[in-house]
Amino acid sequence: MNKNINNYSEDQTQEFSRKLFAGECQFFAASTNLENLPPPVLPEIGFAGRSNVGKSSLINALTGRKTLARISRTPGRTQQLNFFNLNGYMVLVDMPGYGFARVSKTRVRSWTNLMHDYLKGRPTLQRLCLLIDSRHGIKASDKELMNELDDAAVVYQIILTKADKVSVKDITEFSRGFELMRKKHPASHPEIIATSARKDKGIAELRSSLSLLVAPYHFR
């Protein structure tokens, strides 16, 4: 019988978070269509956002590695769903960027459809981390995805990236503005986390937030 995570102290849950993300993390699958997705076994956390928003950099920072997820200066290099097994407890999914890519429109449409089909039909998807560049805010393509996630009842959390490039005031103003928007987005998570992979800002906070999704499976 599973025990309630609330029965454990903050120190215990923080220690679990630290060990979880310090543990082994391995790439194990890449999918370009729904037919070759890996079996839905472990809880999955998706990472989505506009091209060049910093998805791969954030995954590397979360796991304490520099080359786990491939980083490129060329927007649109991630063109498939990449799956990483984190210590046997959860799977991190690096998704194709949207909004810009130096490839054909046909290919962009193909991987965009793949991403949307995955988001709508994956039973083990626990949360989508929707990455927003702190410097640019929420764009039209982000709003389109948010509306789709709301319709599909997929919980998503806004994660600001490159927060070292803006001021604390800018982050505060964004958070206030999004709080007003949340009334129209029922699937959105109430907590916004500002991160910087380069400065390690907000990384521990995000680890703790994601760890709570699998902690009940650990505390038995």
pLDDT tens readout for residues 67-99: 787 544 444 445 789 999 999 999 999 998 887
pTM of the model: 0.88
- What is the rounded average pLDDT for all residues in the chain? 86
Partners of 159 in the β-ladder: 131, 193
Name the pLDDT band for 108 (thresholds 50, 70, 90): low
pLDDT for the residue numbered 112: 75
Task: Name the nearest CA neighbour of 12 among 208, 203, 195, 152.
Answer: 208
Name the pLDDT band for 1 (thresholds 50, 70, 90): very low
* Res 136 pLDDT > 70: yes
CA distance 182 to 130: 14
* Res 120 pLDDT > 90: no
Name the pLDDT band for 185 (thresholds 50, 70, 90): very high
* 215 CB neighbour count, 10 Å cutoff: 19
The stretch 22-49 carries a mean pLDDT of 93
Give the chain's domains with CATH numbers: 5-218 (3.40.50.300)
Q: Give start and end residues of each alpha helix (H) in the chain.
A: 10-22, 55-63, 105-121, 140-152, 168-181, 203-211, 215-218
pLDDT for the residue numbered 74: 44
> What whole-number percentage of the chain has pLDDT above 90?
65
